[in-house]
Every structure is written in C-alpha cells, then in structure tokens.
Amino acid sequence: MKELSLNIFDISQNSVKAKAEKIEITLDETEETLAITIRDNGCGMTAEQVRNVMDPFFTTRTTRNVGLGVPLLKLAAEQTGGGIRIESVSEKDNPENHGTVIRADFFTKHLDFTPLGDIVSTVTLMIQGAPDIRWIFIHNTGSGSVELDTDELKAVLGDVPLNNYDVIKWIEEYLKEGYADIHYNMGYNL
C-alpha cells in the first residue's frame, strides 16, 4: 500500500464485514511515533482466527474474510521497527461484549515509514460506503486533534443518510478544516 490511510481503509472493511455497529479509528502521534487503533464491536474472532489473520501463509480458506490486509499492515509497521497487536472476543464466546481491536505502532522517523497519505478522503469514503455504522475518528497530533463522531451528525440529520452527497462533502470539508486549523502537515496536498 502506498499510504497508511489505505491500510486503515482496508482494515476497517473487515470491521464492516464483521457487522460492527460502531467502528472507532484512533491515530495517536508523538514526535517519533504513530499508533493506529481500529476498534469495532463486530462478531470478533476466535484465538485461532486471530493467529491466522496475522500470517498469510497460515491462512486457511475456511475463513473467508481473511486475506492479505492484516499482513500488509503488519509489514508496514514492522519495517519501521514497530509492530501490531490484535485482541478479539468472538460473539460465540461472549454474546454480550464482542469485537476486535487492532493496534499498529510505527516509528515515523524510520526510512521505511509509509506516509499517512490522504486520510481525509479515506475517512470520508469509509463513511460513504457504510453510512449506517457509527464511525468515530480521532486523530491526536502533536499540535492538536481532529475528531468526528457520526452520531453527532445523525442527531442533526434525522432521516438523511450519511452517504447523501451534501453530507459527504460536509464531512470532507469539516475534516480538511480540522487539519488546517491545527496546521497539520501530512506531506500531502489537500
């Protein structure tokens, strides 16, 4: 993947497929590190499935929603000296409280760090593709944070779906302004 944003897009699709009602994407940046956390309340995975998603060579064909997505994120993190962690509780094991948390840690000064890329377009299109999910996006940077919770938008929008074009544009502009306000340099022309 050319941008970490694309990895985020890809991993979040697993949460959508896991029938999550809520997906929370958090980016925490310090001077030299970036942590990406994707947390959902979807159907979760068994311990064996978690092992399988980590390694493409151990992936069995019985788990259809598993592919190269997690290994690619793992590679992107490990090549900077970081790594990933997955915690998951399957719906079978705990019908009340299930879901998956994937956390990837990066050392941003490393030569092989993949830039975050166009996170605004990514978040906007993720919402466009799954407008019934509650999306929470929080990006804590060194100079401030950008946050979006689609539940706050829905409270105002009523019956108008989040994938309405005007709403999608609003979300895109809102995020762009958020990044401009904190003078965030994403090495990308917005």
Binding positions for other proteins, rule: CB under 8 A:
1, 6, 9-10, 13, 17, 67-69, 72, 118, 121-122, 125, 128-130, 152-153, 156-160, 164-168, 170, 173-174, 177
d(CA 2, CA 53): 21
Rounded to a whole number of angstroms, the minimum distance from the CB of residue 58 to other proteins is 17
The secondary structure of residue 26, as a DSSP letter, is: E
Q: Measured from the CB atom, is 47 or 68 closer to other proteins? A: 68
Rounded to a whole number of angstroms, the minimum distance from the CB of residue 130 to other proteins is 8
Q: Measured from the CB atom, is 31 or 166 closer to other proteins? A: 166
Query: Residue 91's closest CA among 83, 99, 81, 80?
Result: 99
Q: Measured from the CB atom, is 56 or 81 closer to other proteins? A: 56
The secondary structure of residue 114, as a DSSP letter, is: P
Rounded to a whole number of angstroms, the minimum distance from the CB of residue 122 to other proteins is 7
Q: Measured from the CB atom, is 67 or 81 closer to other proteins? A: 67
Edge to edge, the sheet with strand 22-29 lists 83-89, 99-107, 33-40, 22-29, 134-141, 144-149
CB count within 10 Å of CB 76 equals 22
Rounded to a whole number of angstroms, the minimum distance from the CB of residue 97 to other proteins is 26
According to DSSP, the β-strands at 33-40 and 22-29 are antiparallel
Query: Residue 122's closest CA among 17, 20, 27, 22?
Result: 27
Rounded to a whole number of angstroms, the minimum distance from the CB of residue 158 to other proteins is 6
Q: Measured from the CB atom, is 89 or 148 closer to other proteins? A: 148
The secondary structure of residue 115, as a DSSP letter, is: P
